[in-house]
A and B are shown apart, each in its own frame.
Chain A
Amino acid sequence: MSNSSVISASNLDLTFQTNDGPVHALKDVSLEVGKGEFVSFIGPSGCGKTTFLRCMADLEHPTGGTITVNGVSPEKARMARAYGYVFQAAGLYPWRTIGGNIRLPLEIMGYDRADMDARVARVLELVELSGFEKKFPWQLSGGMQQRASIARALSFDADILLMDEPFGALDEIVRDHLNEQLLQLWARTEKTIAFVTHSIPEAVYLSTKIVVMSPRPGRITDVIESPLPKDRPLDIRDSTEFLEVAHRVREGLRAGHIDD
């Protein structure tokens, strides 16, 4: 394990006991994620990508192997508020304004008032929602709501951002726009991002490292270090390198399916 490793998993196993017998959600999963990396997890449903992310967040407990986040157990990392988690649904409280929703984790963590206000203003600016602080969630579009939920995850300055298909429910055009914004945000904040998706273009466009997974049992079939430059305009998706990476991801996904 290198010193710069933020998330480190080795031989991780997770078996759920169900009425139909044990389900191997994760089997022998090993991965190192370095500081400042943008890692995407891609694979068909049931491949354990979300389960893996939830293990990092201490929302699931592995039945075997070891995993550390920031060098400590996921539980300690969670207690230290080491990560921000963005769920598939924005999950904003309808009775709170956008500002109030972003303030929610800050209130829980006991920040003082002036600090909260400054942080809310800063993260709203980061996701380009300045001026929407006093609006209620229902007054915002789905894409804006998801941006607000990202702002909320950023508000307490965790170094790690865990994102579970955050744009899965949005249409293609909004998704493109948010992907572009997310890359800019990543460049500005230098966070380590783990990103679950089932879209090949999204994974290739965003990531420095793409982890291809396959189901039954959930495992890693390929880890691709992206050759793409850090600065990525949207039209990079028509370049040869991009298409080559996308091709390799597709091959990896197919291979996972064949021995199914």
Chain B
Amino acid sequence: MRSVIPVLTVVLGIFLLWYAAAIWLNAPWAYDKATRSGEVLTTQTLVADTWSQEKPKLPAPHQVGAEIWKTTVEKKITSKRSLIYHSWVTLSATLLGFGLGTGLGIALAVGIVYNRTMDMSVMPWVIASQTIPILAIAPMIIVVLNAVGISGLLPKAMISMYLSFFPVVVGMVKGLRSPDAMQLDQMRTWNASASQTFWRLRLPSSMPYLFTSLKIAMAASLVGAIVGELPTGAVAGLGARLLAGSYYGQTIQIWSALLMAAALAALLVGIIGLIQRVTLRRMGMA
């Protein structure tokens, strides 16, 4: 509870800045309109106008809030204009991609830790994969998969996977190598097999590293899913809302999709954080 006041103070500060920036950025258009209709703007009418334009450069918080309310609570979930519907489309691709990425990441990490050839050869490729701009490769993945008859959820999930496996590989390699020489010697004195050492020592030891990686991977997955929705012609999903919004200059729609994406990311990362807390406490590692 002690953190409530500082957090509220920061939120308040952001709102103040936001409203001020809205006045500053939207004022030229307000003056433009006023000159054309021959009106003279007082400070009050100027402020009122900048906070209520239909296509503002920067929509005011209450406009975004109203848009989110309208497109979540007041729309049926099945409606194409419901933000919940679009969020679900993005979320399903995010979760599938996150699952695939985590699986791929752990598999590669196990390979790197247990196989000398993989240890020497895989990591540079893993790093190189992340230096390619995702925006450049996303359309190609979509197009190629589409050509072989795969469309819809999976191509987007593949892009999520492409972004999310990386932190998992890096974290898990470190985590699986975290048992010290003494613990490994101890296993050797018991003549433990490689798989026994893995399941009983290496994997449990890697849990703190895994959870940290999963948080980053989850956020990356969401970005991947959104990016994956851009080249599909803006059919559905938060990415589609962003793209459609920018086509038609619907800044309020863009901002509401952005905030929705941020809230989704916060929620997902928060859930992992919660699982992390409970798990590590039960394992005596927190």
CB pair A108 B200 closer than 8 Å:
yes
CB pair A85 B200 closer than 8 Å:
no
Chain A interface extent, by class: 20 to 34
Q: Say yes or no: is A91 at the interface (Cβ < 8 Å to chain B).
A: yes
Q: Chain A: residues with CB nearer than 8 A to chain B?
A: 57-59, 78-79, 81, 83-85, 87-89, 91, 93-95, 104-105, 107-109, 136-138, 156
CB pair A108 B192 closer than 8 Å:
yes
Question: What are 27 pairs between A and B in contact, CB < 8 Å?
Answer: A58-B188, A59-B185, A78-B189, A78-B191, A79-B191, A81-B190, A83-B189, A85-B185, A85-B186, A85-B189, A87-B186, A88-B182, A91-B183, A91-B186, A93-B201, A93-B204, A94-B285, A95-B282, A95-B285, A107-B200, A108-B187, A108-B190, A108-B191, A108-B193, A108-B200, A136-B284, A138-B284
Inter-chain contacts of A91 with B (CB < 8 A): 182-183, 186
Which of B189, B282, B283 has most A Cβ within 10 Å? B189
Q: How near does chain B come to A20, taking the closest CB pair, in angstroms? A: 21
Q: Say yes or no: is B35 at the interface (Cβ < 8 Å to chain A).
A: no
Residue of A58, A87, A94 touching B284 (CB-CB under 8 A): A94
Q: Say yes or no: is B196 at the interface (Cβ < 8 Å to chain A).
A: yes
Inter-chain contacts of A107 with B (CB < 8 A): 200
Residue of B nearest to A153 (CB): B189
Taking A89-B182, A136-B284, A138-B284 as contacts, is the C-beta distance between A95 and B204 under 8 angstroms? yes
Cα(A89)–Cα(B185), bound, Å: 12
Q: How near does chain A come to B101, taking the closest CB pair, in angstroms? A: 26
Inter-chain contacts of B185 with A (CB < 8 A): 59, 85, 87
Inter-chain contacts of A83 with B (CB < 8 A): 189
Inter-chain contacts of B284 with A (CB < 8 A): 94-95, 136-138
Q: How near does chain B come to A103, taking the closest CB pair, in angstroms? A: 11
CB pair A78 B204 closer than 8 Å:
no
Residue of A nearest to B196 (CB): A108
6 new A-B contacts, CB < 8 A, other than A91-B186, A95-B285, A137-B284, are A57-B189, A78-B189, A91-B183, A94-B284, A94-B285, A138-B284
Q: How near does chain B come to A153, taking the closest CB pair, in angstroms? A: 9
Cα(A245)–Cα(B282), bound, Å: 50
Inter-chain contacts of B182 with A (CB < 8 A): 87-89, 91
Q: Chain B: residues with CB nearer than 8 A to chain A?
A: 182-183, 185-193, 196, 200-201, 204, 282-285
Q: How near does chain A come to B199, taking the closest CB pair, in angstroms? A: 10
Residue of B nearest to A107 (CB): B200
Inter-chain contacts of B204 with A (CB < 8 A): 93, 95
Cα(A156)–Cα(B190), bound, Å: 10
Inter-chain contacts of B189 with A (CB < 8 A): 57, 59, 78, 83-85
Cα(A83)–Cα(B183), bound, Å: 16
Inter-chain contacts of B186 with A (CB < 8 A): 85, 87, 91
Inter-chain contacts of A79 with B (CB < 8 A): 191
Cα(A89)–Cα(B180), bound, Å: 11
Cα(A79)–Cα(B196), bound, Å: 15
Cα(A83)–Cα(B285), bound, Å: 30
Residue of A104, A109, A138 touching B200 (CB-CB under 8 A): A104
Inter-chain contacts of B200 with A (CB < 8 A): 104, 107-108
Residue of B nearest to A84 (CB): B189
Residue of A nearest to B200 (CB): A104
Cα(A107)–Cα(B183), bound, Å: 16
Taking A94-B284, A108-B196 as contacts, is the C-beta distance between A78 and B183 under 8 angstroms? no
Inter-chain contacts of B187 with A (CB < 8 A): 108
Taking A91-B183, A93-B204, A107-B200 as contacts, is the C-beta distance between A59 and B285 under 8 angstroms? no
Inter-chain contacts of A89 with B (CB < 8 A): 182
Cα(A58)–Cα(B186), bound, Å: 11
Q: How near does chain B come to A73, taking the closest CB pair, in angstroms? A: 14
Inter-chain contacts of B190 with A (CB < 8 A): 81, 104-105, 108-109, 156
Q: How near does chain B come to A42, taking the closest CB pair, in angstroms? A: 21
Inter-chain contacts of A138 with B (CB < 8 A): 284
Inter-chain contacts of B191 with A (CB < 8 A): 78-79, 81, 108-109
Q: How near does chain A come to B209, taking the closest CB pair, in angstroms? A: 14
Inter-chain contacts of B282 with A (CB < 8 A): 95
Inter-chain contacts of B183 with A (CB < 8 A): 91
Cα(A88)–Cα(B186), bound, Å: 11
Inter-chain contacts of A81 with B (CB < 8 A): 190-191
Q: How near does chain A come to B187, taking the closest CB pair, in angstroms? A: 8
